[in-house]
Structure 1
Amino acid sequence: MTDQLAHIRGLLSAIEEAQDPRDFYAPDFVQHEWPNAMFPQGATRDLAAALEAFQRGTEVISLQHFEIIRSISEGESVAVEADWFGTLAMPAGDFPAGHVLRARLAMFFRFRDGKIFEQENFDAYLP
């Protein structure tokens, strides 16, 4: 799990630093985001859509940080529980620019040949 967890930490660090994360993913990557406060219908994204969502996120969130609480591995799968903090770059809904959004994340990653080919997110946004 050490290499896989290091890979996930590298991915989260790249996202925090607004660096293109495509090198962490397999070409046939797919992400399933279960319904949450930001995406009430949930979302399924291929690699292109995930990279587009990442780019949009860099425009809305000026600063973000992930804190891994725990992780567990079985074979080519890793589950990560993390806290996420994101500072709004612009007003969004009832929140002004500068407001810090918080969420507890459960992320499940599946690896093939050292790359993430599937990610499933359960994001609980905190009030």
Structure 2
Amino acid sequence: MSYNLPVSANDNLASVRRYLKAISSNVPVEDLLSFFSPLVVQEEMPNRLKPHGGRGGLAEIQLAYERGRQIMASQQYDVQSSVAEGDMVAVEVVWTGRLAMAVGHLQPGAEMRAQCAFIFEFQDGKILRQRNYDCFDTF
């Protein structure tokens, strides 16, 4: 018999930190998808790269991650602040990425930066909803 033990806000925050580390470590897509509920909804608010924003589930997360692995030679998330309460976690991060291929006028090896806020909602220890607010530095 298995019991679902309650997941604390600190557990959820630790999961977010592991998730961001997994992206930075370029883990296989299957490992990344293990952080998400099958019912996940990820929303990206309008930004310089996606003027109309975006919304998707597991399939879209997988495609975006695989595309990002081709475009980015490396990326890092530096958590500036975080707060967790119940099933909600919010983190403020500085994202830095180095391009593996040309994007617009940027050449391979060029660095991009963004100030970001991510809001996560958890269910049973998995990410059920993620909202991204990305503010890219001029490039």
Q: Normalising TM by the smaller chain, what interval?
A: over 0.9
Structure 1 unaligned segments of length 5 or more: list them: none
Q: Residue in 1 aligned with 2:50? A: 39
Counterpart residue identity of residue 100, structure 1: E
Counterpart residue identity of residue 77, structure 1: M
Does the residue aligned with 2:34 lie in a helix, a strand or coil? helix
- Identity of paired residues, percent? 38
* Number of aligned residue pairs: 127
Aligned pair 1:6/2:14, yes or no?
yes
Structural mapping, 1:72-87, within 5 Å: 72-87=83-98
Post-superposition Cα deviations, 1:78-115, rounded to whole Å, max 9, x if no partner, equal: 11000000000011001111001000110000000000
Alignment RMSD, CA only? 0.7
Does the residue aligned with 1:55 lie in a helix, a strand or coil? helix
Q: TM-score scaled by structure 1? A: 0.97
TM superposition outliers: structure 1 runs of 4+ over 4 Å: none
Q: TM-score scaled by structure 2? A: 0.89
Structural mapping, 1:56-75, within 5 Å: 56-75=67-86
Does the residue aligned with 1:15 lie in a helix, a strand or coil? helix
Q: Does the 8 Å contact 2:10/2:84 carry over to 1?
A: no
Q: Point out the structure with the larger strand share.
A: 1
Does the residue aligned with 1:38 lie in a helix, a strand or coil? coil
Larger Rg: 2
Shift of 1:74: 2.2
Q: Residue in 2 aligned with 1:97? A: 108
